[in-house]
Amino acid sequence: MRIYVILLTFLLLVSAFVAPGRAEVTAVKAGRILTISGEPITDGVILIENGKIMEIGEGIEIPEDAILIDAGKSVAMPGFVDASAVQPVRGDLNEQSSEITPTLRISDALDPQSKALKRIVQTGVTTLFVSPGRQNIIGGMGVVVKPTGKIPQQMIVKDEAALRIVMDMDPTQGNRTPRGQAPENFYFRRPGTRMALIWMLRKSFFDAQQQADSKQTEDPNLAILSAALKDEIPIHVNARRAIVIRAALKVADEYGLKLIFQECTEGYKVVEQLAERKIPVVLGPFYYYPQSMGQSREGRKVNWNNAGILAEAGVKVALASGEQSGAIDILTAATFAVRHGMNRDDALKAITIIPAEILGVADRVGSLEKGKDADIVVLSGDPLNVTTRVEKVILNGKTVYQ
Amino acid sequence: MKSRSHIIFASVFLIAFATGSMVHAAPVRKKLAIEAGRIITIAGKDIKNGVILVEDGAIKAVGADVEIPWDAFVIEAKDQVVMPGFVIAHTSSGLDQANENMPEVPFISTFDSIDPVSTFFEDSLRDGVVAMLILPGNNTLLGGTGNIVKPYGRTVEAMLVKRYKGLKISLQPSRNTSRMGHMQRFRRYMSDLKDYLEEYERRKADAEEEKKPFDEEIDVTKQSMVDLLNKKLTAFIYCDRAADVPKAIEIQKTHGLKTVLVLGTDCYKAARLIAKSKLPVVLDPQLIVWETNEQTNEEEMKVIPAIFHKAGVKFAFQTDTSQYGRRYLWYQAATAVKHGMKRDEALKSITLYPAQFIGVDNRLGSIEAGKEATMLFLTGDPLDAGSWVDRTMIAGEIVYERAKDDRLKKLLEPPIEMQEPKDTD
C-alpha cells in the first residue's frame, strides 16, 4: 500500500513536469549562420524551445508544429552584447552625496520603458551592460540586462555584475573650489585633482582590507570592496589615457585587483602591460576625436587601430557603442575596427562572445550553441558591410524587431 | 664686387626656388592613359577593364575598347576602382570662424576665412573629396558668399576652383531674435534693396536722359544681393525646421532666386512640399533620427535619405567632421543604400548632384569625355568600409597617394615614440 502511495506521488510529480507537453518550438532558417563558437553553417536551422536553443546545424528536421521563421538567404548570428551602452534608466546616474558609493545598484533605476532600450534593440543588441554614471570614483554596481520585459526583474540577466570605478578626470569635473567662503555646498568635497582621485580610491581599498582583517564593524560599502578584493565581483575601470591606465595598474598591483578596462582609448600605448596581465578591455564609444576626448592634446595622438593592435597582442577586446547617445552602433564600430586593421573574426567576437565573457554571462549569450539563450540577429548580408541592415532581432526566442 | 656676390646669391636663391617648386607640382604629363579594373562613370554604366584617356588634364575618351596611343603615359590601376571624386555642395568646415556676429553681411566672403592648413582639408583629400563649396555658417541671416575650393594647395588662391559662388541665407533665428523677427528682418532688407535699386535705376535713366556719363557703381555691400536677384549667385537657404521650408520656397518664388535648400534633420516632414517645389536639396549630416510615436509610444527610426528618395527629391549629402562615420561621404551614401536607396542614386548624391548644385558639373561629377580628369583610384567598391582612396587625381595630376600619406600611417600604426616603455617603475 505504502509503496503504491510513493509510486503514485512519484508519477504525479513526473507528470507535473511532463504534463504541459512539448512547449512551442520555433525554427529559424537562414542562408548562413555565424555561430561564433564554431564554423559558419550554410543553409542551417536553429530550433528554439522555451527561449533556448534546442538544436542548431545543417539539415535538421523541422517539427511540423513548429513556428517557422524563414530568413531566406540572410545571415543569422548571435545577438550583440554591448558592454558599454546607453543607460536605460530614469533619473540622474550620478550620486552626489558621496564619491565612493559601492553599495548603489543601477538595477534599482532600470526603466523598461526607456527609449534607449527600444532604439538599441534595433541595432541588433540583445544583451547590454548598464552601469552607474561617471561622476563618482566608485559609482556602484552595474547590471547585465536584455532589452525586453515589462518590469526590471524580467530584463535582468545578472545583477551586481561588476563594480564601476572611474579613473578618468570625470569625477573631478564640475567641482567648484571654495573662493573665500566656507565649503558648505557638497560639491566642494569632491576631488579636484587626479592625485585626490587616486588617493580616495586607494584609501577605500585600504579601509576594506583593514575591515576584512579586523573582522569588526561591518560597513556594507567596504564589504563590497572586500568582495572585489577577493575577486568575487569584477571591477570595471574607466580609463581613457595611458597615464590613467598606468595609475590603475599601479593601484591594482598594490591591492591585487583584477581589472577590466573600459574605453581604453590609448590602450595601444600600454599594449604590452595589458597583454601581460591578461586584462580584458571594452573599447567604445568608437569616436576618435579630440573634442570628444575631453583632453585635446592627448587626443590627437589617438590611434585608429587601437582595437586591432590590442587584439593582435592577445588582449581580449570587446567593442561597444558607448554611453553617449548618437554614437555609431556596435556593428558599425566593428566594421570600422576592421577597416582600420582589426582581424575580421576578432571583430565579430568582440561584439558577441568576448563581451559576454567579460560580463560573466557567456554561459547564456554570446554565441549560437545548444542550450544558450535564443538571441539571434538576422542581417541582410555580410555583418561587416556598411550597407548591411539588421532585418530581424529574436530575443529569448521571440521576434522583438523586424 | 659686393654687388656681384649679391647677384650670385640671388640667382642661387632663384634656382633653388624654381627647382623647389618643381618638386612640389610634378609636371602634368600631356597624355595619360588609365587602365582601370572598373570604372564607375556615374554618367553611364560601369565599365569593366576600361581605359580613360587624358590629355592636358581633361578626359579625352572613356571605354572598354579605347586604344592607348603609343606616346601616352600609362597609369596602371587594373585591380582598382576608378570613379569621379566626391563633391561637397555645402560645408562650413575649414573656416577660421564660420559665422559673423552681424545678421546681414552678404558682402563678406569665406575666401578671407578659409584656413589652408586646417586638417579638414587634409582629411578631405584623404577621404576622396575633390571639390567643396565653403559657405558661411548657419547662424547668420545673410551670411555672405561662398567659394569652391579643392582640398589641395597651400594658399587659398591655389586651392580655388571658383571664386564667388553661392550666398548663404539662414532662416534659423540667430541669438535672441524670434522666427517672426528674423523673417521680418529679411523682408525689410529685401524691400530696402528694391528701393535702392529703383533709385539707382532712376538715377541711371536721368543720366541717360541728360546724356551725362553714368559711372555710379552699385554699393559694394549690396552687390552680392543684386547678383543673387540676377541669378548670378545661387541662394543656399538653410532651413532648420520643417516650418522654415515653406518660407524658403516663398522667398525663392517671390524673388525668383536660383536656390538650393540646405536642410536640418526636422525638414524631412516637409519632403513632399520640397518635392513639389523641385528644388535641389543638401541633407543634414545626421541621416537617421529617432522619434516617439505619440499614439503608440513606440520609438520610430526615420531614415531621412530614404524619405526624400521616395518623395523624388534630388539631394546631395554633406559631412560632419565631429562624428566618426559621418565624416565620410561614402559612408553617408552607404547608410542611404543600407536603408533602401538605389545604389546609383546614392553614388550620384556624392558626385554628380552636388557638382550640379554648385555649378561645376561641366568639369566634375562624372567620368566622361570633355570633363576634367579628376578622379579617385579606390582599392575596392566605394561603399565598402574596407576600401581606401589609393590615389587622387585632380586635373590630370596625382595629388594624393596613400603610400605617401604619413599621417594616415601614424593613425593606423603607432610610431615608436607613441608607445610607452614596458616598465617605468
Q: Provide the residue type at B186 as one letter.
A: F
Let me know whether A244 and A382 are in one domain. Answer: no
B249, B371: one domain: no
pLDDT tens across A311-362, in order?
Answer: 999 999 999 988 877 778 899 999 999 999 999 999 999 999 999 999 999 9
Asked whether residue B73 falls in the same domain as residue B101, the answer is: no
User: Per the domain annotation, does A14 fall within a domain?
Assistant: no
Q: How large is the ipTM?
A: 0.86
A325 domain-assigned: yes
Q: Is B338–A389 a contact, with Cβ atoms under 8 angstroms apart?
A: yes
Rounded to whole angstroms, what are the CA distances from B304 to B263, B284, B333, B337? 11, 9, 12, 12
Report pLDDT for A168.
85
> Which residue's C-alpha cell is 527629391?
B313
- Name chain A contacts of B325, Cβ cutoff 8 Å: 328, 332, 336
Enclosing domain of residue A288: 80-365
Q: Tell me, yes or no, whether B276 and B393 share the same domain.
A: no
**Mean of pLDDT values over A211-234:** 87
B331 to chain A, any CB pair closer than 8 A? The answer is: yes
In angstroms, the Cα distances linking B11 to A210, B1, B21, B266, B282 are 81, 15, 15, 62, 52
In this complex, the residue of B331, B334, B412 whose CB is nearest that of residue A305 is: B412
Buried b (16+ CB within 10 A) or exposed e, A236-263: bbbbbbbbbbbbbbebbeebebebbbbb
**pLDDT number for residue A287:** 57
What's the pLDDT tens digit per position in B259-296? 999 999 999 999 999 999 999 999 999 999 988 888 88
Instruction: Calculate how close chain A gets to B288, using CA atoms only, in Å.
Output: 10
Distance from CA of A181 to the nearest CA of B (A): 35
- In the listed set B364, B393, B409, which residue is the last one of a domain according to the structure? B364
Query: Residue A118: its chain B contacts at CB < 8 A?
Result: 298-299
Q: Domain total for chain A? A: 2
**φ/ψ of residue A260, rounded to 5:** -125, 130
Average pLDDT, chain A: 86
> Cell for A205?
581599498
Distance between CA B82 and CA B392 in Å, rounded?
10
Q: Of B56, B32, B36, whose CA–CA distance to B47 is shortest?
A: B36
**B326 SS3 class:** coil
Search chain B and give the residue with CA nearest A243: B420
Of A242, A335, A388, the CB nearest to B420: A242
The x, y and z cell numbers of residue B107, run together, are: 558682402
Look at residue A44 and tell me if it is in a domain.
yes
- Interface A-B: count of C-beta contacts within 8 A: 83
Contact between B289 and B300 under an 8 Å Cβ cutoff? The reply is: no
Contact state of A384 with B419 under an 8 Å Cβ cutoff: no
Instruction: Note whether B232 and B307 are same-domain residues.
Output: yes
CATH of the domain at A160: 3.20.20.140
Q: Is A305 within the bounds of a domain?
A: yes
Q: Can you give the pLDDT at residue B3?
A: 54
Q: How far apart are the first and last CA of chain B?
A: 65
**Considering only alpha carbons, which residue of chain B is nearest residue A274?**
B422
Verify that A45 and A131 share a domain, yes or no: no
Interface membership of B414 toward A (CB under 8 Å): yes
Domain check: are B353 and B382 in the same one?
Answer: no
Q: What angle do CA B357, B363, B369 make, to 5 degrees?
A: 130
Among B377, B378, B407, CA closest to B394 = B377
Please indicate, yes or no, whether residues A191 and A263 belong to a single structural domain of this protein: yes
Instruction: Please tell me whether residues B289 and B334 are part of one structural domain.
Output: yes
For residues B256 and B402, state if they share a domain.
no
Give residue-wise pLDDT tens across range B2-35. 455 565 555 544 444 444 443 344 555 689 999 9
Which domain range does residue B64 map to? 1-84+366-419
In a domain, A9, yes or no: no
Q: Do the domain assignments include residue B425?
A: no
A291 shares its domain with A387: no
Residue A351 lies in a domain: yes
Q: How far is A370 from chain B (nearest CA, A)?
A: 32
Each residue's pLDDT tens digit, B299-316: 888 999 999 999 999 999
Asked whether residue B424 is domain-assigned, the answer is: no
Whether residue A269 and residue B323 make contact (CB cut-off 8 A), yes or no, is no
Yes or no, beta carbons of B420 and A270 under 8 Å apart: yes
Chain B partners of A113 at a C-beta cutoff of 8 Å? Answer: 297
SS3 percent helix, strand, coil of chain B, rounded to 5, is: 35, 25, 40
Report the alpha-carbon distance of residue B284 to residue A392 in Å, rounded: 28
Determine, yes or no, domain membership for B337.
Answer: yes
Residues 282-311, chain B, touching A (beta carbon < 8 A): 290, 292, 297-299, 301
Residue A55 lies in a domain: yes
For cell 659686393, the residue is B2
Residues A268, A389, single domain; the answer is no
Handedness of CA B380, B383, B388, B390 (dihedral sign): positive
